[in-house]
């Protein structure tokens, strides 16, 4: 597994939660847990439906998690906003995570419940052959 910044497999280094904000203002905070049998990703995606979310695996074991809300909320023209902390309008986010090599890509499962996207990536626990290749040493080339 190659790591981008300081050995961290996330494509964008998470300095603060605000660093995950996309131009549209959407936030997708992520937790990555590891058990003996799987990697578990929990992503906060409040307000997104399962049809607005996508989880894809790219060559090189890169997992893309994206969300795009397709509709903008309409606001009456004569409404006066006194405070607006909730997001309105179109929202989108994108996260990229480089997965370890020892995962079963064909057995990944994702579930959305109460604004929490949980992705379970099972580990491949079968022993791998050694990647050490012995080179015979001779006296002349």
72-116, pLDDT tens digit by residue?
A: 656 667 877 777 666 666 788 899 999 998 999 999 999 999 999
CA dist 124 to 38, 61, 72, 117, Å? 9, 13, 42, 22
User: Domain for residue 136, yes or no?
Assistant: no
Q: In what order do the strands lie in the sheet with 53-58?
A: 53-58, 62-68, 92-98
C-beta separation of 99 from 61 below 8 A: yes
Task: Look at the chain and report how many structural domains it folds into.
Answer: 1
Burial letters 82-105, b for 16+ CB under 10 A, else e: eeeeeeeeebbbbbebbbeeebee
Q: Is 1 a member of any domain?
A: no
Residue pointed to by tokens 């996330």: 10
CATH of the domain at 103: 2.60.40.790
Asked whether residue 90 is assigned to any structural domain, the reply reads yes
What range does the domain containing 94 cover?
Answer: 17-122
Determine the Cα–Cα distance for residues 64 and 21; give it in Å rounded to an integer. 16
Q: Is residue 134 a part of any domain in this protein?
A: no
pTM for the model stands at 0.68
Say if 12 falls within a structural domain.
no
Please state, rounded to an integer, the average pLDDT across all residues of the chain: 79
pLDDT band at 21 (very low <50, low <70, confident <90, very high): very low
For residue 41, the model assigns a pLDDT of 97
The encoded tokens of residue 82 equal: 């006194």
Question: Considering Cα of 30, then 94, then 16, then 61, what sign does the dihedral take?
Answer: positive
**Position 6 in a domain:** no
């Amino acid at each position: 597994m190659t790591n981008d910044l300081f050995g961290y497999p996330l494509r964008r280094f998470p300095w603060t939660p605000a660093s995950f904000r996309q131009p549209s203002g959407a936030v997708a905070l992520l937790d990555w847990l590891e058990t003996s049998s799987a990697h578990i990703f929990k992503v906060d995606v409040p307000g997104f439906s399962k049809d607005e979310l996508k989880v894809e695996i790219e060559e090189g074991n890169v997992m893309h998690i994206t969300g795009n809300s397709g509709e903008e909320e309409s606001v009456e023209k004569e409404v006066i906003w006194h405070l607006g902390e909730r997001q309105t309008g179109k929202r989108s986010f994108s996260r990229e995570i480089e997965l370890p090599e020892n995962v079963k890509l064909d057995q990944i499962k994702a579930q959305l419940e109460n604004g929490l996207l949980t992705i379970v990536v099972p580990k491949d626990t079968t022993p791998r052959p050694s990647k050490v290749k012995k080179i015979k040493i001779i006296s002349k080339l």
